[in-house]
Amino acid sequence: MSITSINPASGETLATYPEMKLEESVKAIEKSDSAFLKWRTTSFQVRSEGLKSAAQHLRSDKEEFARLMTLEMGKPIKQARAEIEKCAWLCDYFAEMGQGFLKPELVKTDALKSYIAYEPLSVILAIMPWNFPFWQAFRAAVPALMAGNSVVLKHASNVPGCALAIQRVFKEAGFPEDLFKTLLISSSTALSLIEFPSIKGVTLTGSTEAGRAVGAKAGQFLKKCVLELGGSDPYVILEDAKLEEAAAVCVMSRLLNSGQSCIAAKRFIILESLRKHFEELCMEEMKKAVVGDPLQESTTVGPLARLDLTEALHRQVSQSLDKGAICLWKGSIPEGKGAFYPPTILTQVTQGMAAYTEELFGPVAAIISVKNEQEAIHVANETSYGLGAAVFTTDLKKGERVALEDLQAGSCFVNGNVKSDPRLPFGGIKESGFGRELSHIGIKEFVNCKTVYISP
């Protein structure tokens, strides 16, 4: 068996890699466990220096990594460079803050001394997706490594080159051999690895279906897991919002990464009285998009990562149109090579349509009109997902109230697009998963929060 990397913009085969068998993977995990036993005794200073070095390697080889990302999954090259920079920022952030996040916490009790200590677990299995091939892997690995764990990466099968490049970054940054290891394996092999004793935790970013499978396996073998799954993020535009700014943010968020983001704006919820004007503004923004070769500097929307994803997205669009949605812009697969799908706007989207109930993983916006603010909140929450949400209003107190009290999601933004930030916890609720990544909360997901109690 082999794993093949294909350029989604051209259909060209980039490289083929041998797939690791289960026995090879188990040996790699055992070596990672041995590396962990030494790594856990290293000082925070040593770990910090390693992450700072990784950040330097990312920045010095940014062009190479960005190009690789673009070739393997079609990300526009400017966005690919930004992703590498964000990974470097992540490394620098946890290099600076990690020790403080994991500092033992004294707690006053009737003991002579009592405190909470944070200890690493061992090998963490990271199962990562293709849409942000560097960021997702670094987001999982960096806090875990800073906490003293080791990491084995099962990356998406269409970005094996990125997976191996990430391994190279940590190696060249001076991390011990086998502490971070890429495993070129199938999804079924990854599931099997969860049961092995050396694996002490598993983190997955992916679809809700994948989350169910991994969560069930982790539960069966009592392994800690963090699941960051799909999303159908609502962007609620209230009556007093600045429509031009709201439309610009909504469309920008919808088209970022060619629409292939769990936290992209997917459902634009607008008052019926404002719908036509908002539609016109969204059309203007959509028409600014430049679709084409993702290696070109001017391109803002590249291909989807695979042809089958293009076909699946079009089925969702077609189903919605069949049930009464109206297509304002594009909405058809273009002729020619590549897994391209045009920026598309569907309006008059209602309950029962795929665009209303399902996650659209591509550059397709669904406009849903409502009568009032109360109905807007109801529609926003009328989803099985709960990853991100946003509200637009000039009344900041109202916006904060809606974000804090009304919207049901792990991240709620006011007058801005939902995004991840190393300083803030990231994750979802409902079928968008559980657990958190990033910040002082995320770094503690894969540690033993140990109580130490000393009597006189």
Nearest to 154 by CA among 197, 199, 189: 189
Residue 53 contacts by C-beta under 8 Å, 6 or more apart in sequence? 172, 173, 174
Could you tell me if 366 and 348 are in contact, meaning their C-beta atoms sit under 8 angstroms apart?
no
Contact predicate 381/392, CB 8 Å = no
**CA triplet 7, 12, 13: central angle to 5 degrees?**
85
The rounded distance, in Å, linking the Cα atoms of 112 and 144 is 32
CA distances, 116 to each of 37, 374, 430, 447 (Å): 21, 44, 30, 12
Nearest of 120, 189, 111, 118 to residue 155 by alpha carbon: 189
Q: Tell me the one-letter amino acid at 296.
A: Q
* The two three-digit tokens of residue 351, written as one number: 């309950």
- Spot the catalytic one: 162, 262, 282, 412: 262
Q: Counting Cβ atoms within 10 Å, is residue 274 exposed (0-12), middle (13-18) or buried (19+)?
A: middle
For the question of residue 262 being annotated catalytic, the response is: yes
- Catalytic member of 228, 358, 359, 445: 228
Cβ pair 230, 262 in contact under 8 A = yes
Residue type, 441: I
Active site residues: 228, 262
